[in-house]
Amino acid sequence: MSVSFRKSSRCATGSCVEIGYDGSALVVRARGGAIVRVDADARVAFLAAVRGGRFDLAERAGR
């Protein structure tokens, strides 16, 4: 299946990752062409971590 990748409209540098969906997994492509497929379980866990502040820079700086 072909994947149509999208880049964030907030990407000002052109070196942002791109995301797509191949019908069963989220597909993330880095600028250099490396591709990572993220299945539904991993995506749910990642989004929970993001929503929980796990990757907030301010939070990490204080640790």
Domain residue spans of the chain: 6-61
- Show the tokens assigned to 2: 């072909």
pLDDT band at 1, cuts 50/70/90? low
Alpha carbons within 13 angstroms on the beta-carbon side of residue 48 total 6
Q: How far apart are CA 19 and CA 30, in angstroms?
A: 9
Phi, psi of 26 (to 5 degrees): -75, 135
Name residues whose C-beta falls within 8 Å of residue 26's C-beta, 6 or more positions apart in sequence: 19, 20, 37, 38, 43
| pLDDT single digits (tens) 12-63 | 887 788 999 988 899 999 877 888 899 989 989 988 998 999 888 765 566 5
